[in-house]
Amino acid sequence: MDTQDKLFAPLRLPCGVVLKNRIAKSAMSDSLGDGSGHPTQTQINLYQRWAQGGLGLSIIGEVQGSPDFAEKPGNLVLNGKADLTLFRELAIKGGENGSHLWLQLGHGGALAYAPTSAPQGPSALDLPGLTCSEMPLDVVRNVPANFARTAQLAQDAGFGGVQIHAAHGFLLSQFLSPLFNKRRDEYGGPIENRMRLLIETIDAVRAAVGPEFPIAVKLNSSDQLEGGFAEDDAHKVVAALDTTSVDLIDISGGTYFPGAKSASDAAGGGPYFLEFAKRARAATTVPLMLTGGFKTFAQAQAALAEGIVDIVGLARALALEPSLPDLWRANKALTPVFPRFSEAPEGGITAWYTMRLTTIGTDTLAPDFGDLDPAITAYEARDKARTDIWLKHFGRPD
């Protein structure tokens, strides 16, 4: 098999589900929910467009089980109160062309969007730009059941799988991090305790969806923060995940902690986290996905050819060109052109890419990339408008 074939070879997951190729659209919070936690037609168009472009797997970012700890007011909220009609349409259209559409199950925790939340993390924090209270133990103990309920609804609505979000500084990743997690109960202290909530969540989700439904975990290789979740601990988590029923470990890194580095805002060369993935490969037989910094066909091909990972995860490259898998298969667009933004403010690049997703969903992709500032302005204005809708719909959290 030559390496081109490898990228387009099917992958059988431990649960028995087969993905048609090795190219995944990594989770992106698209900010295209309607403000009441339901999908919009623009969002459905976006995922249909990606499915038509030849992806094996596509993951919707930050789908919340509760409106109380959302990452953004454009998140989807999937719980017993949700109307499943548009979720079902999203599942069907985003799953066209043999593509798999999964939901990433999120909980913002300490980083929940403050205008719609009273953020709670593993421990109380009062830092510039980040204030949260400590999550009470009975609430912590309910987290796995809440993730499980949303996973079951995802399955009922026709989605192909779920990804448990334990990366980038959101709730489950905060529990892993000694910087966020100073608890003295069974969820804090040594890494075996800090990973307890993640493992319990996987077990609860598996019990809810049965043995044949894919479950992935997105895990940081490191938070890239001094005193945070570091590589040695991350390898212990990989070893523990090896003994669970997960079907895929998606390796990432960085956080949205104020002032910290996030992978989606990074401008430099990639792919990131390759060395970590190599070591993880030796420690687990669970299929590995690597996300972050893949820009070219040659990079994707090399990561697979060297046997380091089983799936290549792309986020920004697929925001630039939603048909990249089909183009690569036809030997085209092997080195996509990325925009370069000098002096982007924190979060600015991520905001630009989020607005790019809207232009795909509305079929208004312009021939040039457009500037950063108008994109940031439009992004912020939309979040503000959606916050008003969210608060009217869900009410203000206590």
| Site of interaction with ligand FMN (CB under 6 A) | 26-29, 61-62, 104, 165, 167-168, 218, 252, 263-264, 270, 291-294, 314-317, 350, 353-354
Sign of CA dihedral 220, 74, 138, 209: negative
Nearest CB to ligand FMN, comparing residues 348 and 397: 348
Q: Say if residues 310 and 287 touch (Cβ distance below 8 Å).
A: yes
Nearest CB to ligand FMN, comparing residues 123 and 354: 354
- The CA-to-CA distance between both ends of the chain, in Å, stands at 58
Q: Which residue is at the shortest CB distance from ligand FMN?
A: 61
Q: What is the 3-state secondary structure (H, E, C) of 81-116?
A: CCCCHHHHHHHHHHCHHHCEEEEEEECCHHHCCHHH
Least separation in angstroms between residue 166's CB and ligand FMN is 9
Nearest CB to ligand FMN, comparing residues 316 and 382: 316
- Decide: helix, strand or coil at residue 252: strand
Least separation in angstroms between residue 398's CB and ligand FMN is 26
Nearest CB to ligand FMN, comparing residues 54 and 293: 293
Nearest CB to ligand FMN, comparing residues 280 and 315: 315
Least separation in angstroms between residue 264's CB and ligand FMN is 3
How far apart are the C-alpha atoms of 134 and 10, rounded to whole Å?
44
Place of tokens 């949260």: 132
DSSP state of 67: G
How far apart are the C-alpha atoms of 246 and 26, rounded to whole Å?
17
The token duo for 248 is 């895929």
Least separation in angstroms between residue 265's CB and ligand FMN is 8
Place of tokens 């079951």: 152
Helix or strand (DSSP H, E) at 301: helix 297-305
Nearest CB to ligand FMN, comparing residues 88 and 261: 261
How far apart are the C-alpha atoms of 166 and 301, rounded to whole Å?
27
Least separation in angstroms between residue 28's CB and ligand FMN is 4
How crowded is residue 16: how many other Cβ atoms within 10 Å of its Cβ? 11
Least separation in angstroms between residue 192's CB and ligand FMN is 24
Least separation in angstroms between residue 290's CB and ligand FMN is 10
How far apart are the C-alpha atoms of 231 and 253, rounded to whole Å?
10
Q: Say if residues 1 and 198 touch (Cβ distance below 8 Å).
A: no
Least separation in angstroms between residue 1's CB and ligand FMN is 25
The token duo for 269 is 């060369």
Nearest CB to ligand FMN, comparing residues 20 and 168: 168
Nearest CB to ligand FMN, comparing residues 135 and 317: 317
